[in-house]
């Protein structure tokens, strides 16, 4: 029968310990990669608003502006003209509901509806506002990438708990 000293395994060699530490470091680095791989500009691009929004769907181009914040501008409208039966039927849509009378004649096409967003570093952009031309109101907002092709846009009053989220799809 072997004695107790013969049953003990030898201590790992310095090479084995180094290899184990390197393997753990590599696994940790690979696990963190998805969080690091999402740059601030990941939100940039062309987005299609959710179906069912009043006034039809729109395509919004999101990009970084000169100040370094992100802005979203309407570049396409599913229904670009006022509907038959409306006082301005057949004319291009303008910002009629704006609380500032001086802005009520500006075209909806080309209108910046997202403004002032900064990247928080976790797939979320905050600190900005969203303007709803259907009712003329501006809300605080937060935007978050669900994945590379979905954008959750949450407009709210006061705190995000009191708001509404709509999901936009990336246009490729």
pLDDT exceeds cutoff 60 at 5 = no
Rounded to 5°, the CA angle 40-45-49 comes to 115
CATH number for the region 40-170 comes to 2.40.128.520
User: What is the predicted pLDDT for the residue at 14?
Assistant: 61
Give the confidence band of 147 by pLDDT, cuts at 50, 70, 90.
very high
- What is the pTM for the complete model shown? 0.77
Give the confidence band of 53 by pLDDT, cuts at 50, 70, 90.
low
Rounded Cα distance, 122 and 124, in Å: 5
Give the confidence band of 2 by pLDDT, cuts at 50, 70, 90.
low
Where in the chain do CATH 2.40.128.520 domains reside? 40-170
Q: Which two tokens stand for residue 31?
A: 């696990």
Q: Which two tokens stand for residue 93?
A: 């849509």
Rounded Cα distance, 164 and 157, in Å: 10
């Amino acid at each position: 029968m072997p004695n107790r000293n013969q049953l003990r395994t030898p201590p790992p060699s310095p090479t084995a310990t180094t290899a184990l530490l390197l393997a753990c470091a590599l696994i940790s680095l690979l696990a963190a990669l998805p969080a690091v791989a999402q740059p601030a500009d990941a939100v940039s691009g062309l987005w299609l608003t959710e179906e069912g929004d009043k006034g039809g769907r729109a395509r919004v181009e999101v990009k970084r502006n000169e100040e370094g914040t992100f802005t979203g501008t309407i570049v396409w409208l599913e229904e670009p003209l006022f509907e038959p039966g409306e006082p301005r039927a057949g004319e291009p849509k303008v910002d009629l509901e704006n609380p500032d009378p001086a802005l009520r004649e500006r075209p909806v096409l080309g209108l910046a509806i997202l403004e002032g967003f900064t990247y928080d570093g976790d797939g979320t952009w905050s600190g900005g506002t969203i303007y709803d031309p259907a009712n003329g109101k501006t809300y605080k907002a937060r935007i978050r990438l669900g994945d590379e092709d979905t954008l959750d846009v949450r407009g709210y009053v006061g705190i995000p708990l009191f708001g509404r989220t709509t999901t936009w799809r990336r246009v490729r």
